[in-house]
Amino acid sequence: MAEVILSGFADEGPVSKRAEEQFTMMRALGLSYYTIRFIDVGNGVKNVMELTAQEIQTLQKLHREFGIAVSSIGSPLGKVKLRDVEDGTDNRYVPFREYLDTEVKRAIELAHAFDTKLIRGFSYYHPAGSNPWDHLNQAADQLSEIVALCAAEGLVYGSEVESHLIGGDGETLIALHEKIDSPNTCIIMDVGNMESMGHSPDRVFAEYVKTKPGLGWIHIKGFNAPANRPMLNRAKKRGLTRFIPVDQGDAGHEMVLRDFLTLVPHLHRKFVKMGVPGVFIDLEPHVKGGGQFGGFSGIDGFGVAFRALCNLLDYLGYAYHLSGYEDLTMP
């Protein structure tokens, strides 16, 4: 059985987001990969896209010292307006050619600097209140150019499902995927993102099934669905929301991960041929809150969410590796 590789958005752990604290948490949990998004390398918290050359060098050194690697660049690519129209949101618009020459180019540079083949991205904001299908062709055209730049560099662009984007459900994401028609793009399923939009677990599974021909990897954030009111009331008193560990009442994850297990061998072979170490399951738990560009779990919450994920994967029969005694060596 092909193993999956467990990873996570380490910035959700330490309040400080200091690099050393992120890596200490991940390695103590037995994880050897992380998705880089927000991080403090000594000059304040920055998005990965804003790191200086010196900060990148410092992180490369820390990666070697901690024995940790980057699974994907957790970029915000594609979280901009598709069209330059006022729609009552604060979302940015960047002219497309400028976007290619600046932010897309930067994400590609970072992928090479951190020795990863994967860039997490999104599928553009259509004007608020409009039908995403009316903008799908334009989004596909622009994403195709982004994917082509990634492909030329041997990289893969993953489009994550999320609300208010053109790729906001399985049907629109697979339509975009088919129009782009490149082996260097894939869909990133996120059950919690869909459940938080109001989809029932059964509906989430149906949307997941639509994405299967284009799936690449999965993000994990539990959501209390169907709603358990007594549990939610207790959580509210502690200042928490409906994001939960995946073994605490999130029916959608069990259904999706049970089926995803059947895809792992094929995806493993595909990714390894592209220079990716395997199939990632990436923890992004949000158990203490989340928003448009990130989330927070705390070191304790990240650990709780990670153990919950392992419980569910064990129950479903997944194979994965956490650092153990046989991996230890003297520095």
pLDDT in tens, 241-259: 889 999 987 778 999 999 9
Q: What are the structure tokens assigned to 49, written together?
A: 């896209």
The residue assigned the tokens 């608020």 is 128
In degrees rounded to 5, what are phi and psi of residue 29? -80, -5
CB 121 within 8 A of CB 161: no
> What's the pTM?
0.96
Could you report the per-residue pLDDT of 2-35, keeping only the tens digit for each? 899 999 999 999 999 999 999 999 999 999 999 9
In this structure, which amino acid lies at residue 41? V
**pLDDT for 56:** 98
Q: How far apart are CA 232 and CA 229, in angstroms?
A: 5
The residue assigned the tokens 């339509």 is 175
Closest CA to 213 of 178, 167, 184: 178
**pLDDT for 235:** 87
Taking every pair of C-alpha atoms in the chain, what is the biggest distance, in angstroms? 58
CATH topology of domain 4-324: TIM Barrel (3.20.20)
Answer whether residue 207 shows pLDDT above 90. yes
231 or 65, greater pLDDT: 65
Answer whether residue 231 shows pLDDT above 90. no
3-state SS, residue 101: helix
Confidence of residue 295 (pLDDT cuts 50, 70, 90): confident
**pLDDT for 290:** 80
Residue 74 β-bridge partners:
120
**pLDDT for 226:** 81
**pLDDT for 294:** 82
Q: How far apart are CA 162 and CA 165, in angstroms?
A: 6
**Packing angle between helix 201-211 and helix 251-273, nearest 10 degrees?**
20
Q: How far apart are CA 271 and CA 263, in angstroms?
A: 12
179-206 mean pLDDT: 94
156 C-beta neighbours (distance < 10 Å), count: 26
Q: What are the structure tokens assigned to 287, written together?
A: 């158990």
Confidence of residue 91 (pLDDT cuts 50, 70, 90): very high
**pLDDT for 242:** 87
Tell me the average pLDDT of the chain.
95
3-state SS, residue 243: strand
